[in-house]
Structure 1
């Protein structure tokens, strides 16, 4: 999926050093766009920049803590100075703690909120400051099924994703009210095989894992590029599990509460104990200067899917509606001829 417009685009991706952000930045680079990469981890940033350059794109890595609005503003200024006007801004950066709510310290809740929620606010405001005067541009919020449905062991992360959802809905209404040509859209993700399960602070007895079914980061990146190219739609759902979760939560949230109480804790842990030396990126990047590059993929390649039929269906509503209409018409014609 190519971002709309014939010329190369200037794209900013936060959280670009690993996971979904890394896959998104690499995908934009493969389309020969000019990509600014914002994250704290310099090892990951530099490796991501190398991947983009090898793919034929232009890369500008900028070490940035998105929790600090002044750093985000400075990064946006540098992007426009060195790459040109920003066309697309993709918010991905986050952090979290795997633990029961009462085992997460108040300062950790605050830090998670500042990175995962306010980081999106800071990035969006920096983009709007530059896009609204030009009346052009797109902001893509990388969300989650957890923006609608909280699950155990991720209370701080779920709270932040819920906050992003509310912020984005309100902002979209405001842009529509002023008939702006700046668009915001949100992509709700399923469980994805990212390095977060190896570097997020965990107080679980066993190694954290995504709740199956698990998808590869490239599936998420494909959805983000499609959303960037078609930003008039308010949101996209990726993966059958996302669709099922959101529908179940809308129809029977109390039943889902009880189901997750029984299954949600066990399903987010492997049988292996949490490594005693596992890094934690809450306060400092796990892939900082002199550290290791974790890449886009986590440890669950063998159990992760690189395809999502539901994503295809989500991208082709018109085709499915037309096919459904044609089948219905054919059925009616057949029924009438046999009367």
Structure 2
């Protein structure tokens, strides 16, 4: 069965993790494009402020405070969307948490909590969304990571959760395709993004953590998510490094091991002392209402790779134009050489 996705102005979109970072950037972009929104996060006061702000700008939104780790909470989100808007067309599983530290030092309790949010939160959202979308069509979009393809040191349990999200998403996609369900299932895999991820993460290291360069603006990821809401696509990388990491993990895993051992571990530590370990949002929500957390340098506002993937006609025209220009330049140089 062919999958037909609506333009954003005709969609109702559920966004988990909507109170900060990529989720908030996506909500704001989708609202400007006149999508109707169901905003989801644990922080109800932040959600209310965001929803009120967007509604004042002419959007139509509602919010539901929920912990995606709780299956009943996620079902309540779907029920609220159906009651208010009659259903939804796209479900974005963006909510996530992080931990920095060596695997042997991170407590099992914290590991389980991270998996409850990053993996089981995606499972709960996917199951609720799939049941609804099978009857009306639409898009299910899960937030993976470049670590879905290649685990990184000092973020071991986070990497494991994103590996699990990839395995679950790929399996669910195949099952829905076999059933002929008109549901597009996309896994989005960003490189480092300037969000509240670091400041929200629980840190076990002896220094304050940082993300490896390059770091992209959250709007770059938001653009990719909203592209997937309108165009059926299997996987979507955000940032060329994410694509290169995936290719390296497949073609030269041991070389990548050695590179990460030598460069990645020191790259993920600043020269600043760590903040209080209890200052995190692993078990409860933290400071929200911010898209960016600040990475000490300018984030990349665009990704040529991701733009090329999401705007193939434009990219093709640029490549053709570049090719013609190069051909003309070469021909001119040949003529000049012939004159001499």
After TM superposition, the score normalised by the length of structure 2 is: 0.89
What's the RMSD between the two structures over aligned residues?
2.3
Q: Which residue matches 2:150?
A: 149
Q: Which residue matches 1:67?
A: 69
Q: Which residue matches 1:290?
A: none
Hey, what's the Cα distance between the residues in 2 that align with 1:6 and 1:153?
A: 38
Q: Which residue matches 1:167?
A: 168
In the alignment, is the contact (CA less than 8 A) between 1:26 and 1:51 conserved in 2?
no
- String of CA shifts for 1:27-78, please: whole Å, max 9, x gaps: 1111122111111122332232234224421221111010110110011101
In the alignment, is the contact (CA less than 8 A) between 2:13 and 2:89 conserved in 1?
yes
Q: 2:135 aligns with which of 133, 136, 144?
A: 133
Structure 1 SS opposite 2:275:
coil
Hey, what's the Cα distance between the residues in 1 that align with 2:41 and 2:203?
A: 21
Q: Which residue matches 1:57?
A: 59
Q: 1:28 aligns with which of 14, 26, 30?
A: 30
Report the CA distance shift for 1:44/1:279 in structure 2 as closer, same or farther (over 3 A). Answer: farther
In the TM superposition, what is the alpha-carbon distance from 1:319 to its structure 2 partner? 5.5
In the TM superposition, what is the alpha-carbon distance from 1:20 to its structure 2 partner? 0.8
2:328 aligned with 1:316: no
Hey, what's the Cα distance between the residues in 2 that align with 1:266 and 1:278?
A: 23
In the alignment, is the contact (CA less than 8 A) between 1:10 and 1:84 conserved in 2?
no
The count of corresponding residues between Structure 1 and Structure 2 is: 324
- String of CA shifts for 1:73-118, please: whole Å, max 9, x gaps: 0111011101221110000111121110001111111111111001
After TM superposition, the score normalised by the length of structure 1 is: 0.89
In the alignment, is the contact (CA less than 8 A) between 1:211 and 1:268 conserved in 2?
yes
Report the CA distance shift for 1:322/1:138 in structure 2 as closer, same or farther (over 3 A). Answer: same
Q: Which residue matches 2:222?
A: 221
Hey, what's the Cα distance between the residues in 1 that align with 2:176 and 2:87?
A: 20
